[in-house]
Amino acid sequence: MRLSAILLQALATVGVFVDKTAAQCSGQGEGNCQLSFVGIPRTDCITYDNMLTCGEAITWTDAYIFDYACNQIGNAPYPAQGLAIYSELPWTVVITFLTQGGPNNAFLDFRSIGFAYAAYSYHN
């Protein structure tokens, strides 16, 4: 089974959807799965050399794995780089790259993710 990644837009508040799982999925077709992340956007600021620098950031709150029909088959609260997510799939999904962004994280783009599943890996 192939795992497709779709990083959905960060939600202003996680409670926007009563049924978060249905809202997070877009069917990928038989033989594919979907990995989705949910987060709360924020602005981080730091002071360096008496200058205030701010940047977009996000607090990741959930990661979901869906099958091709958008049935939730795995999840993990507060996902982080290095986390293995267990699901109904034969192997775990390992998050290989995930940042919160902002100046405290060298302005790394929080929309960039990476994961590995069996012999397949993805990084955008």
Using an 8 Å Cβ cutoff, are 25 and 66 in contact?
yes
Neighbour count for residue 1 (Cβ, 10 Å): 14
Higher pLDDT, 49 or 9: 49
Q: Is 39 exposed, middle or buried (0-12, 13-18, 19+ CB in 10 A)?
A: buried
CA distances, 124 to each of 4, 9, 109, 115 (Å): 12, 15, 10, 10
Using an 8 Å Cβ cutoff, are 123 and 96 in contact?
yes
- pLDDT, tens digit, for every residue of 5-35? 433 332 222 223 334 555 678 877 888 888 8
Looking at the whole model, is its pTM more than 0.85?
A: no
- pLDDT, tens digit, for every residue of 78-96? 888 899 999 999 999 999 9
Neighbour count for residue 46 (Cβ, 10 Å): 12
Q: Is the pLDDT of residue 72 over 80?
A: yes
Helix H or strand E segment including 22: helix 20-24
